[in-house]
Amino acid sequence: METITMNVKGMTCGGCVASVTRVLKAVPGVADVAVTLQPGAATVTYDPAQTAAPALRTAIEDAGYDVVG
């Protein structure tokens, strides 16, 4: 397992946190997700044999948020 923390821009409330959490958990290979609003960040533990950082980033962006850095 690998863990990555991404800075997420555009989340404004608990609903946003729930949305980002949901889309990340839907990515095959994701084992654990922790999203915080302040600061806006998503920490994801995943199986590198099944997914990778770009797919996680895309999932967040497809949900309408921005990944910075």
Please select the residue that binds Cu ion; options are 3, 5, 7, 12, rule is CB under 5 A. 12
16 binds Cu ion (CB under 5 A): yes
15 binds Cu ion (CB under 5 A): yes
HSE toward the beta carbon, residue 68, CA cutoff 13 A: 8
Nearest one of 18, 24, 27 to 43, comparing CA atoms: 24
For residues 46 and 65, which CB has a smaller minimum distance to Cu ion in the complex? Answer: 65
Write the DSSP assignment of 18-43 as a string of letters.
HHHHHHHHTSTTEEEEEEETTTTEEE
5 binds Cu ion (CB under 5 A): no
58 binds Cu ion (CB under 5 A): no
Binding residues (CB under 5 A) for Cu ion: these are: 12-13, 15-16
